[in-house]
Amino acid sequence: MANRGISIVLLILLIGVIASSTVEAQDDSYKPGYIDWQVKPVEQLFVEGMTEDTAVLQRERPDQTEGGMSLDPLFNGEIFTIQSEPVQTAFSQAVKMSVFFSVYLDDNVGPETCFRQQTTSLGTSDASTTLTYTVNLGGEQIYQESVTYVVDEITSGQAINFSGAENEINITANQGDVFTLSLSAVHNCIGSSVMVQWGGGPESQNSGGIIMEGVLYQPEMRMILDESNIAHIEFEPLMPWGESDIKEIKWEIWG
């Protein structure tokens, strides 16, 4: 969706206020044109979809219906490669990026199933599960991390959070670029399958996706007077994925 200005016509009442006090008050006045944006410095791309074949990478929060893929014992391979919608407004920013999914045992077995394999009387046997995350932007790799645990949770609501390390990176996104997320896994436990899940919420252990900590956008606002001296305020979101990211606009006008 293309960005477009949102015009709001305001009737401005000029009110003269005379106040006196024996106590010196702090001057809270602002110079003409003063603007202060308070932008939440966290952006996310969520994985949604019931299976690995229908998974998508989206801006909207998941619908709280968990999806995922069951990994058989000794699974070693790619789960999916998915991409976001194209960036609409270019940006360049330093961010802290991480990727997360969650995993639990999937065969109605006890929580110690894989730990027993890990420490047998015959010696140590690798029963771990490893997820590897790769993120590309505009065709260039910007993030890759692996996370390894021996899974010992048996329910979706208590799934282990496989969060990748938080990396500080400089990213530059041009209009039309897409974020691509690849997820692969190695599951060495022979006693049980595991479920890699995403799409749930609001609990983080039921969802998955990319987290970016940093301010990726700076909106613009302009005020003009028309020929009738009526003030018009134009707001241009300049969001990376367009104005559909804005769910609500609230104005407080003082004058």
- State pLDDT tens for residues 125-159: 889 999 999 999 999 999 999 999 999 999 988 89
Distance CA 206, CA 204 (A): 5
pTM of the model: 0.77
Per-residue confidence (pLDDT) for residue 109, from 0 to 100: 85
- pLDDT tens per residue across span 166-222: 999 999 999 999 999 999 999 999 989 999 999 886 566 678 999 999 888 767 777
Contact 59, 83 (CB under 8 A): no
Q: Residue 17 pLDDT more than 50?
A: no
239-252, pLDDT tens digit by residue? 788 767 666 667 66
In this structure, of 13-17, 110-114, 119-123, 190-194, the range with the lowest mean pLDDT score is 13-17
According to the model, what pLDDT value does residue 28 have?
A: 62
| Per-residue pLDDT, 247 | 65
Please give the structure tokens belonging to residue 173. Answer: 């996104």
Q: Contact 101/162 with Cβ under 8 angstroms?
A: yes
SS3 content of the chain, % helix, strand, coil (to 5): 5, 40, 50
Residue % of the chain over a pLDDT of 70: 75
DSSP state of 149: E
| Domains with residue ranges and CATH for the chain | 1-14+218-249 (no CATH), 42-213 (2.60.120.260)
- Which token pair is 111? 């929580």
Q: Is the pLDDT of residue 27 over 70?
A: no
